[in-house]
Structure 1
Amino acid sequence: MSLRGPQAMASLDEAMRDIRREEDEISKRLARSGERVSKIRESEADLVRELAKMRLDPAIQSELQGHISNAESKARDMLKAHASELSATEKALAVIDDKLGALTAERAKALKTQTARQVELDRLAASIASDMESNKVYVEQRDSAVQLLDTANQSMAKTEQAETDREDKGRPYRDDPLFMYLWENGYGTKNYRANNLIRYLDGLVARRIGFAKARPNFAMLNEIPLRLREHAENQIAAAQASQSKVEALQMTAVDAAGGKPVRAQIAAAQQQIEAIDEKITAAEDERDATAKNLSLLAQGADPAFEQALSTLAASLLREDIQTLLAEARRTATGRDDTLVAQIDDARMRVKDEDNETREQRQRLKTLAARRRELEDIQWEFKKSRFDDPRSSFGEERLVGDLLNEFLRGGITAANYWDQWRRSQNFNQDSPWSGGGSRGPAGGSNSPWGERGGSTINWPNGSFGGGRGSGSSGTGGGWSRGGSMGGGFSRPRSGSSGGGFKTGGGSGKSGGFKTGGGV
């Protein structure tokens, strides 16, 4: 059973809400922990006062109580200001969450409207399909585009195979330090530079390892993929140009049949969606900054809060108090023992709170990182138009086990997104065969990389799939998608950066130098 684009988007939205909810809960838990530590310290101070009354003369007792009371008073004022700032930040975060919820709902409504208009356009396309099949110019152009597309896919497949061979067959060369030494120094080429002694020694090494025979083979392994990729990219450009001509003919025919207003409505809905997405991105960045501030406040990283607790703690760890406790422990007075035990218990509870706080801080840090990764994935998801109703995914575990594994950190964001990309297809459900013409890799994916496909879901399924002309739906890319590469492209405000590299990269696998060249 396949997973539809809107369902998939809804699952990612739900996961995002869960992450944000847990972040909020941990922040509140940390804030309560700080309050508990403060109250425990105040209770400890009361116990110390009581112990001092029993064991110290009035003059020393008064001095000690003055130190403690002064520290308590300062801490109380600082903690009150901290609590006020914490409350204000929590309210600000709640406002942003409400804004994000409203924007998400508004986006879903706009997508639903766009989908309804798309259905109208697809029906119109189906009604004129037979007429288009009798249009010689259109059929010839479409068939030419499909042929060019098949050629481009085959060319890219050969390129990827050559790149695989470069990696696998080139490994023995790269693993040989003597060969790589000579190669990287350009031995046997016009780029080689060395004095007579080094030339003599390098010549001995070259003859010993058979470098003269091996070097051309290794050079060819490196050069062939580069030439093939250049050729494949030219083939893709030609296919794209031909596809543009097909789309122009499609648009002309649909507009002539009355489809222009519907296309305009689809375009308007798309503009609305894109505007909402910009607002969502801005709100997410605002939320990220606010959540970070709340996290710092909740963890006690606020200088005023830290000073408040450290001042109170320092007053209870004074040397004279430690001496008082030590003397009380040496006596057998029952009341002394009770007070000392209560003070020790208070200090142990503070330690327990500190240990719990460290764990919660780490969890909060992990959640923040995972939330940002999921924002990156959702950005790419929308950019690729994977939330289109005609988009589907063959792997249901993407919103089940794999999603949970990603959230637990079992797989990287790049790996998780790559599995989405590989599982995705743009479905073409119309029964019209169109004389057997086929789209990329069997007509299931949008073939045009960052360009996207036609607005119209043509019944033959030869080129439809993108949502809107000029859309950025990748549909998995060309053939096996091995050349996609790159990193997450979600813009980030400030210096927080873009995201995570997914690896790959056009024609750059292998990681070795080309050295002396051919």
Structure 2
Amino acid sequence: MTIRGPEALASLEEALRDIRREEDEISKRLARATDIITKMRETEAELFRKLAQVRLDPSVQRELEGRISQSESKAREMLKSHAEALAGTESELAEIDAEINRLTGDRGEALKDVEAHQGELKALSTRIGGVVAKDPAYAQKRAQADELQAIAAQSMRKTEQAEADRDEKGKPYRDDPLFIYLWDRGYGTVNYRANNLIRYLDGLVANLIGFAKTRPNFAMLNEIPLRLREHAERQMQNAAAAEAELDALETAAIDAAGGKPIREALEKAQARIEAIDAEIVAAEDRRDAAAKELSSLAQGGDPAFEQALTTLADALGREDIRTLLAEARRTSTGQDDTLVAQIDEARARGKDEEGDIREQRARLKTLAARRRELEDIQWEFKKARFDDPRSTFREDKLVGDMLTEFLRGGISAASYWDHWRRSQNWSAGTSDWGGGLGLPNRGRASSTPWPPGGGGFQWPDTSFGGGGGKSKSGGGGGFGGGWGSRPTGGGFSRPRTGSTGTRKHGGFKTGGGF
């Protein structure tokens, strides 16, 4: 079963909400556990006061009780401030979550507007496509664009083959330490610099390995791909210029047929989505900072809180306190035994809570990392325009079993994102993006200007940023040739704190036949 782009994005957003919800719950559990430890310390202090009343003479008892009470009073003031900071951060998180949910809803509505305008343009392009295709100027430009696309594709294929040869055939050279030593020193070139002794010794090495014969071969292996890539990039620029001219003709035809208001409304909806995405990034970054702050506070990371606990712990860990407890253990009176048992119980409860805190800390750290990775994937998803209404995915398990596996750490973020890219398609008649070229493959066959059955006019792609560079989709190579290499690593480009949050990419597919 296939999944449409908007539904796929909604699934990722729901997973993000679930992660954030669990982060909040764990932070609250950590706060409760930390609060319990604090209360256990206070209970322990009270029990020691009672034990002192039983076992110590009044003067020593007053001195010990005064010390404990002073520590408790100081700690309570610090803990009150800590509780206020914790409540404030929780409130901030709730407000940011509400803002993110609102922005996500607004984005969904804007995306519906995009889909509606796309449908209107497609209907219009279907109506005028046959007429435009017969226009001699358009047919000539289309033929030129197809030819330049084919040339660029062939140039890139040759470039990639040369680069593969360089990596494979150049390995024996690179693995030879004597050869690579002379190569790095520039031996045999005008760049070589050495004193007479070193020149003499390098000459012996060069003669030994036949460097004069092998160096030109290695130089050629390195030089050819560079020249081919320069040539391929020029061809890509030529193809891009031809596509831009074709876009201009198509835009003019759409506008002449009364489509300008629709096109402008579509561009407005796209601009709205871009603005919302920037707001979402900023809100997510604020939430990330607030979540870190809440986690730190919940774990007792506040300096005031740490000092409060330390103050109490120091008071309860003094030598006279330890002596008092040890002597109480050695005697066998009912009141002593009860108090000692209660102290032991309070300390055991505190240790149990400390163990739970360690586990929850580890879980919270994992969740935070997974959330950030999912935010990266969500960003790339939007950047690649996979949320376009005409984008589809072959594998429904991407939002089922595979998503669960990713959240559990079974697959990496890079691998999960690559599955999305490999599964992605554009619906019938939808243009794809050229592989390494960054140009739209507009569905044009070399022999016919339109898809089979007169499938409608190919509306020009419109970028969010008003003509920004167009990104690759995951589906197929450039210009129908399959030569475009797809990245498989996790080099996510989502801006983090300190950036503007504006994404530059190709925008939604906007045209008729797409």
2:354 maps to amino acid: D
Q: Secondary structure at the match of 1:301?
A: coil
88-97 vs 145-154, which deviates more? 145-154
2:472 maps to amino acid: T
Distance 1:133 1:241, change over 3 A: same
2:295 aligned residue: 295
How far the C-alpha of 1:421 sits from its partner, in A, is 3.2
1:57-456 correspondence to structure 2 within 5 Å: 57-429=57-429, 444-445=432-433
Are the counterparts in 2 of residues 450 and 473 from structure 1 also a CA contact under 8 Å? yes
Q: What's the CA shift string for 1:86-130, capped at 9, x where partnerless?
A: 112111111110111011001100110110111010011011121
How far the C-alpha of 1:410 sits from its partner, in A, is 4.2
2:281 maps to amino acid: T
347-356 vs 218-227, which deviates more? 347-356
Q: Secondary structure at the match of 2:425?
A: strand
- Aligned to 2:495, which of 491, 499, 510? 491
- Aligned to 1:470, which of 458, 467, 471? 467
Distance 1:2 1:229, change over 3 A: farther
1:63 maps to amino acid: E
Distance in 1 (CA, whole Å) between partners of 2:473 and 2:500 is: 29
362-371 vs 81-90, which deviates more? 362-371
Are the counterparts in 1 of residues 34 and 298 from structure 2 also a CA contact under 8 Å? yes
Distance in 1 (CA, whole Å) between partners of 2:407 and 2:501 is: 21
Provide structure 1 residue ranges, at least 5 long, that are not aligned to the other structure.
431-442, 499-518
Q: What's the CA shift string for 1:148-171, capped at 9, x where partnerless?
A: 112212222222222222222222
Distance in 2 (CA, whole Å) between partners of 1:491 and 1:142 is: 38
114-123 vs 478-487, which deviates more? 478-487
Distance 1:170 1:465, change over 3 A: farther
TM-score norm. by structure 1 comes to 0.86
Q: Secondary structure at the match of 1:392?
A: strand
2:388 maps to amino acid: D
Higher relative contact order (CA 8 A, sep 6+): 2
Distance in 1 (CA, whole Å) between partners of 2:33 and 2:199 is: 72
Let me know the Cα RMSD of the aligned residues: 2.9
Distance in 2 (CA, whole Å) between partners of 1:137 and 1:495 is: 44
Provide structure 2 residue ranges, at least 5 long, that are not aligned to the other structure.
443-449, 503-514
Distance 1:473 1:483, change over 3 A: closer
How far the C-alpha of 1:32 sits from its partner, in A, is 0.6
TM-score norm. by structure 2 comes to 0.86
Distance in 1 (CA, whole Å) between partners of 2:485 and 2:406 is: 22
Distance in 2 (CA, whole Å) between partners of 1:450 and 1:148 is: 14
2:3 aligned residue: 3
Are the counterparts in 1 of residues 435 and 486 from structure 2 also a CA contact under 8 Å? no
Distance 1:423 1:223, change over 3 A: farther
Distance in 2 (CA, whole Å) between partners of 1:352 and 1:363 is: 17
Q: Secondary structure at the match of 1:187?
A: coil
309-318 vs 377-386, which deviates more? 377-386
Matched residue count: 485
Identity of aligned residues (%): 62
Distance in 2 (CA, whole Å) between partners of 1:57 and 1:495 is: 67
